[in-house]
Amino acid sequence: MKYVSANEVLPDDLICEIQKYIQGKTLYIPAPKGSRAKWGKDSGQRELLLKRNAEIRKHFREGENLDHLASQYCLSHDSIKKIVYKREL
């Protein structure tokens, strides 16, 4: 989240109205519902994890055991279990 001065983006009359409630403090204004991107969408991290998890499930179906997968992917045994036993949507 980047800090932006209200003087740069808001009209003077709106700043005066806001100053009736708060002055000299940082005010967070959330994005409207539905306008935020899901986690990892913009960075591509979400896609990388989905691909990794599909690969883990594939190896599991091919006979790899949970402990070996945990070691191979540097994840806990329980994390691997969650990935391989998660019901696909």
pLDDT in tens, 34-50: 777 778 777 889 899 99
Cα dihedral across residues 69, 79, 57, 64: positive or negative: positive
Low-confidence ranges of the chain (pLDDT < 50): none
pLDDT of res. 11: 95
Q: What is the pLDDT of residue 17?
A: 94
Non-local (6+) Cβ contacts of 84 within 8 A are 56, 57, 60, 66, 69
What type of residue sits at position 39? Answer: W
pLDDT confidence of residue 41: 79
The answer to whether 69 touches 52, Cβ cutoff 8 Å, is no
